[in-house]
Amino acid sequence: MQLIRLFGIRIGASPSWFVVLFIVIYLLSQRFQGTGGSSGASYLIAVIAAALFFGSIVLHELGHALMARRLGIGVSGIDLWFFGGIMKMERDADSPSTEFRVAAAGPAVTVLIFAVCLGVLLAMGVKPLDALNSDKPVEALLGFIGFMNGLVFVFNMAPAFPLDGGRIARAAIWALTGDCNKATRAAGRVGLGFAYVMIGFGVFIAARGGPGALLNGVYFAVLGWLLGQAARSAVVATAFTERIDGVTVADIMDAEAVTMPATTPMSQAQDEYFLRYRYDWFPVVDDNGRFLGVVREQAINDEIGAGRPALAVGEIVAADEAESWRVPPNRELGSLLGDERLRTRGALMAVDGDGVLRGVVTIEQVRRALSSALPQGSR
C-alpha cells in the first residue's frame, strides 16, 4: 500500500513490513529502557528511533531511484518489506557506468547519514560509542541511527549479488570484460556463497540460545535464503539470455501496427478504431509518423459525452506520458525482459532517434521469441 510520495516517487509498504515495524518498536523499547527518565519517554524514543531507521532505509532507496531517474531509467516505486527496502526500476541498466552509478547512489546516502550523525555527536562533545548507552534522548538516537547505518553500509557493500556491493562488482567486471552475462554470473556466484554463509551464521546464532537468539538466527537464515534465491536466479538467467543474444526489438516487433493520426476526430476514432478493432488504446502519430503518445477508449468516450465529437485526438494525448512508452528498436531482447513497463502495459512503442514510430512490441511477441529460444525439451 502507498504510504507517501517523495519527488514524485511512490513509497509503499507490504503487510510484512508492519509486522517488522511493531517488532522493532517493541525491541527498541527494551533497548532504550531508562532513556528519557520514564517508561513512556522510552517508548516514545523507540517509536522515533524506528521511524528514523526506516526513514534512512527510504533515503537509501531514494538515492538509487533519483540516480536512476537522472540517467533516464523510470522508477515505478520503492517498497518497504520484511527485510528492508527495494527500489523498482522500469528497466535494467544498459551500461557498466549506469549500473555502477545507480548501485553506488544508495550506499552514498547511507554513508552521508552515518557521517552526519557522527559529526553532530562529535560537535556535541560526545564519543559515538558512548552515545549508544546514553540516557539522553538526542545522544541515544544519534548513536543508534549512526550505528545502524554503519552496519547497513558494511553489510550492503559485500561484493555479493544482488546486494549493492555485488552490483558494483558486476559493473566493474562488466566494464573490464564487456560482457554483462559474465559479470552477472561472477557476482551471482559470490552472492550464492555469501548466502550460504548467512544461513550458516543464522543457524549458529539460533543454536547458541539466549535472549532473542532464535528470532535473530531465523532472521539471518531466511534473509540468506532469499539472497541465495535471487543470486541463483540471476546466474540461471544469464545462460538463457546468451541464447537470445543479438535479438532486438526490431526483430520481433509488429512493424505494421495500426496507428491513429493525430488529426482524427473523436467520432471517427470511436467508429473506425475502437469499435472496429476492439483495442483498449492506440498509438497516435503526427503527419510525419512521429509518436505523440497513446489514446485510450475511455478518453474518447468522455470527450464525445462532453459534446466534443469533432475534437482531434492529438488534443488529448498526454505528451509527458509518451516518453514512458518508448523503447529503441535496436534494444536487445535480453534487456527488455526486466522492463516493468512491458509487464504492466503489455506493449511498448519502438521509436527511433528521430521520434518516428517504427513498430509496436507486445509481451506476447516477447513470449514467442523466448519460447523459440528454449531447447526443444524445455518447451
For the stretch 165-209, pLDDT in tens is: 999 999 999 999 988 888 999 999 999 999 999 999 989 988 887
Plot region of 7 (φ>0 → left; ψ -120 to 50 → alpha; else → beta): left
Residue in this structure with the C-alpha cell 550460504, named with its chain if needed = 196
Nearest CA to 282 among 225, 250, 325, 329?
325
Residue in this structure with the C-alpha cell 531465523, named with its chain if needed = 218
pTM, whole model, 2 decimals?
Answer: 0.72
Q: Is residue 326 exposed (0-12), middle (13-18) or buried (19+ Cβ within 10 Å)?
A: middle
- Which overall architecture, per CATH, does domain 249-378 show? Roll (3.10)
Query: CB count, 10 Å around CB of 95?
Result: 13
Answer whether 162's CB lies under 8 Å from 112's CB.
Answer: no
Nearest CA to 62 among 13, 20, 5?
5
Domain ranges of the chain: 1-156, 158-243, 249-378
Q: Which residue has the higher pLDDT, 154 or 341?
A: 154
Q: Which residue has the higher pLDDT, 264 or 205?
A: 264
Alpha-carbon distances, residue 299 vs 232, 303, 306, 338, 344 (angstroms): 44, 6, 11, 30, 20
Q: Is residue 239 exposed (0-12), middle (13-18) or buried (19+ Cβ within 10 Å)?
A: exposed
Mean pLDDT calculated for residue range 32-59 = 84
For the stretch 329-373, pLDDT in tens is: 998 887 777 778 888 888 999 999 999 999 999 988 888 887 776
pLDDT value, residue 110 = 96
pLDDT value, residue 226 = 87
Could you tell me the pLDDT band of residue 288, with boundaries at 50, 70 and 90? very high
